[in-house]
Chains A and B, each alone.
Chain A
Amino acid sequence: MNLRGIQAIYIYEMNRSFRTLIQSLVSPVLSTILYFIVFGAAIGSRMENISNVTYGAFIVPGLIMLTVQMQSVNNASFGIYFPKFIGTTYELLSAPLSFVEIVIGYVGAATTKAFSIGLIILATSYLFVTIDIVHPIFMLFFLLLTCISFSLLGFIIGIVSDNFEQLNIAPMLIITPLVFLGGSFYTIDMLPPFWQNFALLNPIVYLISGFRWAFFGIGDVPILTSIFFILLFTSICISIIWYIFKTGYRIKN
């Protein structure tokens, strides 16, 4: 395995984030703080507790998920799209690197960034609310798996995109609505019966539910269902990436 090659991509990508620290770190943290102020303090103070959890604390897992999913997708998609855009993918393709190594480099960096942001948001939330995490190890594991799976998705988006518009379409028009409607700010049983069934078609519901279970021991769906969904989603992304590299789709002529 070309470990130095993986390390090179990983460090290069991480350095890119450090060069744009405001965009990479400050921006998502600031957005989340605003969510806390609006939904946690202003509106949350007038909301009833949900399953004995204050509304301000209740939205913490959802807010973390919302941010890490968007960050994973954005970081990974831009990470591979930019070399495509400026034409430097020739370096990756002509180097003794397997597709697995290229993916580990890019997805690893995107995962690290998103995971770090997730932890920073969690730390920030302690400034606003009191949280006792019921399953902390599982919470970290689930957060990491979410970052990996959405970074894989971002990598796919970056590969198939032909321009910046396409690069932004999937995160803006598909992922953002699914994340907002995935129970970040409410439980599924708060919806009318028809929309409850409809919401279960949204894969993000299972991820937020699983993550919330790690925090408070409660979830919209059983935890095993959440684990199954995240593993299924990860497997689908890996399969698509494997196909892309095997066929050279949008990478090789």
Chain B
Amino acid sequence: MSEIISVKNLVKKYDSDFIAVKNLSLKINHGEIIALLGPNGAGKTTLISTICGLTSITCGSITVNGFDVIKDYRKTREIIGLVPQELALEPFEKVINSVKFSRRLFGKKDDVEYIENLLKKLQLYDKKDNIIKSLSGGMKRRVMIAKALSHNPKILFLDEPTAGVDVELRKDMWNIIKELKNEGVTIILTTHYIEEAEMIADNIGIINHGELLLVEEKNKLIKRMSVKTLKVKLKKSLSTIPSKLKKYNLKLIDQGNSFHYYYNTGKEKTGITSLLSDMNQIGINLFDIQTEETSLEDIFVKIIKD
């Protein structure tokens, strides 16, 4: 896949001397969904804002589809759609007029068929003549997406698109995002919901304190960072871990009735067979075995803490 966004050594310093983005570099390929994860104030929104032209750049460069976002801003902005975090809509305008307005701002001719199909896809068609003020929060969020897609962009930025949205609508949003990906749209989303990233993203980027800590393919990341826990329940309790088993870094729990063994599924050998064999040799009998898997959330928390 070819590169569609390239951020090189980006620095954003605000007037208050707060550095929101520190020497950040990032490449995003055509047609992928990348989820940017990070705690509040990590710099996710600032990064998006600099790419979209809402925030000035202190240092560094950004290109979109090979064009510089400052020098060639018309060429870069015409292929970008943005759904900001806040529900920012003209309250007294009709849905259809608001979406048409957005399309026209991008210099595009009115296209009734495209706009109507878009509204149908977002389940807004029945509400097209409603005043925005009268819509629910979820519907307003859909209007924001319709506005961002009104000019048929190749890149869509979604800044916490499902914040404050109910579960059903969130799942609808995920389906919409997946559909857009199938249509070839590159999607960059920021989210607090790790589950969301896990469900829909191809790649994960983790940002904290303005620095990009990692960008990696989601499945590879989970495989690389995933630590499974083997919980072994014993027939007889132990007061300490026997010296022969010290190399496994076991953790006694339940007053010595069980222990935890941590292993990485990404590695060639998990060490389970060897552990069970050593237990057998020194006469420790097991009663039951359970395994637990690390989620993306656990990985995220670990990376942020490290």
Contacts and interface: CB of A to CB of B under 8 A. Distances in A.
B18 to A, nearest CB: 11
Given A19-B92, A94-B80, A4 B104 contact: yes
Contacts of A252: 54-56
A131 interface: no
Nearest to B110: A4
A53 to B, nearest CB: 45
B104 A86 contact: no
A92 B106 CA distance: 9
Given A12-B101, A19-B92, A91 B147 contact: yes
A224 B104 CA distance: 42
Interface string B146-171: 01000000000000000000000000
A208 to B, nearest CB: 36
B109 A90 contact: no
B88 interface: yes
B14 interface: yes
Interface string A235-253: 0000000000000100011
A90 B55 contact: no
Given A86-B91, A94-B77, A7 B55 contact: no
A163 interface: no
Given A88-B90, A94-B82, A253-B14, A5 B54 contact: no
Contact of B56 (A4, A5, A253): A253
B74 A93 contact: no
**Residue among B46, B86, B88, B92 having the largest count of chain A Cβ atoms under 10 Å:** B88
A2 interface: yes
Nearest to A20: B92
B53 interface: yes
A101 B49 CA distance: 21
B105 A9 contact: yes
Given A86-B91, A96-B78, A8 B105 contact: yes
A18 to B, nearest CB: 12
B129 to A, nearest CB: 15
Interface residues of B, number: 32
B73 A96 contact: yes
B302 to A, nearest CB: 32
Interface in B79-130: 80, 82, 84, 86, 88-92, 97, 101-102, 104-109
Mostly, the A contact residues are helix
Nearest to B106: A95
A15 B109 CA distance: 19
A21 B147 CA distance: 27
A192 interface: no
B227 interface: no
Interface string A142-171: 000000000000000000000000000000
B86 A97 contact: no
Contacts of B55: 252-253
B89 A7 contact: no
Contact of A90 (B84, B91, B92, B104): B84
B52 interface: yes
A86 B91 CA distance: 9
A4 B109 contact: yes
B98 to A, nearest CB: 9
**Residue among A83, A95, A248 having the largest count of chain B Cβ atoms under 10 Å:** A95
Given A7-B104, A97-B105, A253-B55, A90 B89 contact: no
Contact of A91 (B46, B74, B102): B102
B90 A94 contact: no
A90 B54 contact: yes
Contact of A86 (B89, B102, B107, B109): B89
A87 interface: yes
Interface string A1-33: 011110111001001000100000000000000
Interface in B42-75: 46, 49, 52-56, 73-75
27 contacts: A2-B74, A2-B107, A4-B105, A4-B108, A5-B105, A8-B101, A8-B105, A15-B97, A87-B84, A87-B88, A90-B52, A90-B54, A90-B88, A93-B52, A93-B53, A94-B53, A94-B77, A94-B82, A96-B73, A96-B74, A96-B78, A248-B56, A252-B54, A252-B55, A253-B46, A253-B54, A253-B56
Interface of B: 14, 46, 49, 52-56, 73-75, 77-78, 80, 82, 84, 86, 88-92, 97, 101-102, 104-109, 147
